Amino acid sequence: MKGFKIIVLAKQVPDTRNVGKDAMKADGTVNRAALPAIFNPEDLNALEQALRIKDKFPGTTITILTMGPGRAAEIIREGMFRGADDGILLTDRAFAGSDTLATSYAIGQTLKKFGLYDIIIAGRQAIDGDTAQVGPQVAEKLGLPQVTYVEEVLAISEGKVTMKRRLERGVEIVKCPIPLVITVNSSAPDCRARNAKLIMKYKHAKTISEMQEANDDYLHLYNDRPYLNIKEWTVQDIEVNPNELGLAGSPTKVKKVENVVLQSKGAKVVTSSDEDMNQLMLELIENHTIG
Amino acid sequence: MNSVFVYCEIEDGQVAEVSLELLTKGRSLATELKCKLEAIAIGYNLDGIGKDIFPYGVDVLHIADDKRLAPYTTLPHNSIVVKLFQEEKPQVALMGASSVGRDLGPRVSSALHSGLTADCTSLVIGDHEDKKLDKVYTNLLYQIRPAFGGNIIATIVNPDCRPQMATVREGVMKKAIFDAGYKGKINKLDVSKYTSDTDFVVEMIERHIEKSKVNIKSAPIIVAGGYGVGSKENFNLLFELAEVLGGEVGASRAAVDAGYVDHERQVGQTGTTVRPKLYIACGISGQIQHRAGMEESAQIIAINTDPEAPINSIADYVINGDVAEILPKMIKFYKANTK
């Protein structure tokens, strides 16, 4: 049986779940350097669904597409260590300041150029924005149906994918024809671990910029082993209207950003002694808060 | 003046709570902007839905009624909303930040190139000056939300593209009838003109939607736990105290992620917004996303081993100490004083 061409949309994100005290600068802006950059968690759930399809349908290929700065190539390698076949890093200063719409436009144009896809799978949302917009917007840009909040791909047959969706208040099983865009929830199975053989195979996989920077003598390797080349695309490689990119292409503008500064209400401090606790409960009962 | 639109989510013939809350907010925005409030209801057997919607002060209700439109699937609802917005050109469009609104909103905003802000915690009308263009925009919708792990609060505007779209979670806005006898107009849409056969490619094989079991939104007292509670077992203490006080148990995202309790108990920007008489925060540090969902509680007690925890700054009472020691004492002294 022939396999499927799968694109996994992934994002490298600052780990906002573990924000330390040094994460904010004195001027109230975010100190990105203090936050570790990680593979967006739900994109890993998405990758796992792609890998399961590949397990079932030999001949399936998985391409990771990410948009970001040069170092985002890390997550492409990370995906290759777990079973992805190759990747595209979409990187250009022209993308700076993109909101979700400008991002989706750039990703959509990249996929139109790349052309080879049956199933596009992304995480439901990224933890640095929690918007859950890029998946559906890419679907719209490509004119494809979308199935969001997917927990499990149950079956693929006769050109249709059957999936279980996990919603806030229930479950749906839906069937959608290929090609389509799927977004995956964190309730889906975790991504498998890195595979030792794949680490050996792909540890030297690099983008052209990384190769030039490393100035290493692996260069002949890349010519002999094309799978070590991670595609690095800029706006030159895709057909775009520059007015739809970056800040200019973003309908939403950040008007104001405020650091979260807390001013104490002047709380009553209570110890855990029996006396204090008794007094507290009495007070709450007397002012009719409880009881 | 172009209208404010609210997309009304319909489940089992009922308008979703979040949509009624948004109609309330939409009414006050429309009044301030001196424009009409319009609603969209898409589904099946919607005769009579108007009586649930007009009392919120809706001037025009657009109804698309067709067997194939319920339950919700993305493409036909998207086609109807996109086409209607192209015709009516709303200045503001609001949707619930639910599994429906977060599926539909981005697709609509992409088709209209309008821009969309997700999970807003506040919507305000205000002006905006673009210094570079030397241009002043009046009466824009300020879409306010915590961002970047809650370390910042961002105000987002859409100066040029319309509609200005935002999603809001259930419980963030307050629901209130505007006028029980309010008279609005119904505009029945010809579904065949707004959809095409290709919109119906996604088949619904099975569907189990549950009514929410836990209702923390209307609980007068909430005993909420965070990661600092330490374990699922320790959460039993919270359930015990909540039962004694006649309240419900809530949780922070960290506690839900750690598997201590179910997601439906989550309080905060990505959970439920609550306004109880008393909120007891146990082992919750109080990141902004959590505070956004509970800071309007009438009284707040923070129980924490960290005297610097951000939650303390919005608390009325701060108890420095261990949840496992303090909760049993609260139960004991509550019982002792109410006998």
ipTM (interface predicted TM): 0.88
Residue A57 lies inside a defined structural domain of this protein:
yes
Q: Which residues contact A196 (CB under 8 A, 6 or more apart)?
A: none
Q: Is residue A96 part of a domain?
A: yes
**Parent domain of A193:** 5-244
Average pLDDT in the B193-208 region?
96
Residue A110 lies in a domain: yes
Structure confidence at residue B181 (pLDDT): 95
Residue A254 falls inside a structural domain:
no
CB pairs under 8 A between A and B: 243
Question: What pLDDT is stored for residue A224 in this prediction?
Answer: 85
Q: Is residue A270 part of a domain?
A: no
CA B258 to chain centre: 23
d(CA A182, CA A192): 19
Tell me if A254 and B99 make a contact (CB, 8 A cut-off): no
The rounded percent of chain B whose pLDDT value lies above 90 is 79
Interface contact B117-A252, CB threshold 8 A: yes
**Contact call for residues A30 and A24 (beta carbons, < 8 A):** yes
**Contact yes or no for B166/B173 (Cβ under 8 A):** no
Measured CA to CA in angstroms, residue B108 lies from A77, A104, B85, B115 at distances of 34, 13, 9, 9
Beta bridge partners of B318: A269, B302
Mean pLDDT of the region B126-150? 90
Low-confidence ranges of chain A (pLDDT < 50): none
| Total domains present in chain A | 1
Min Cα–Cα distance to chain B from A68, Å: 17
Find the closest chain A residue to B241 by CA distance: A290
- Give residue A151's identity as a one-letter amino acid code: E
Q: Sort out which chain B residues have CB atoms less than 8 A from A264's CB and list them.
A: 312-313
At B15, give phi and psi (nearest 5°). Answer: -75, 130
Q: Residue A180 is part of a domain; what is its CATH number?
A: 3.40.50.620
Q: How confident is the model at residue B211 (pLDDT cuts 50, 70, 90)?
A: low
Residues of B in contact with A253 (CB under 8 A): 156-159
- Higher pLDDT, residue B218 or B265: B265
Put simply, whether B150 touches A (Cβ < 8 Å) is yes
Put simply, the answer to whether A168 touches B156 (Cβ < 8 Å) is: no
User: What pLDDT, on the 0 to 100 scale, is given for residue A25?
Assistant: 63
Q: Taking CB atoms and an 8 Å cutoff, what residues of chain B touch A262?
A: 310, 313-314
Whole-structure pTM over 0.90, yes or no?
no
Nearest CA in chain A to B266: A168
Distance from CA of B187 to the nearest CA of A (A): 27
Neighboring chain B residues of A146 at a CB cutoff of 8 Å: 74, 103, 107
Cis peptide before B276 (omega within 30 of 0): no
Backbone angles phi, psi at B215, to 5 degrees: -120, 75
| Distance (Å, whole) CA B317 – CA B64 | 51
Tens digit of each residue's pLDDT (9 = 90 or more) over B79-122 = 999 999 999 999 999 999 999 999 999 999 999 999 999 999 99
Chain B CB contacts of A263 below 8 Å: 313
- How close does chain A come to B172, measured CA to CA in Å? 16
Whether A69 is covered by a domain: the verdict is: yes
B121 and chain A in contact, CB less than 8 A: no
The predicted pLDDT at position A128 comes to 84
* Least confidently predicted of A43-52, B190-199, B284-293: B284-293
Q: Directed axis angle between helix A41-56 and helix A73-82, to 10°?
A: 40
Domains present along chain B, CATH in parentheses: 4-200 (3.40.50.620), 216-338 (3.40.50.1220)
pLDDT tens for each residue of A164-223: 999 988 899 999 999 999 999 988 999 999 999 999 999 999 999 998 888 766 677 778
- Whether residue A251 is contained in a domain is answered as no
User: Cα–Cα distance between A104 and A244 in angstroms, integer?
Assistant: 10
The residues pairing with B188 across neighbouring beta strands, listed in sequence order, are B63
Q: Where are the beta strands (DSSP E) in chain A?
A: 5-10, 12-14, 37-39, 61-67, 86-90, 119-123, 146-157, 160-167, 170-177, 180-184, 231-233, 253-259, 268-270
Model pLDDT, residue B264: 86
pLDDT at A261: 59
Return the sign of the alpha-carbon dihedral for residues A191, A194, A195, A201.
Answer: positive
Residue A30 domain-assigned?
yes
Q: How far is CA B329 from CA A66, A277, B240, B260, B322, in A?
A: 53, 7, 12, 22, 11
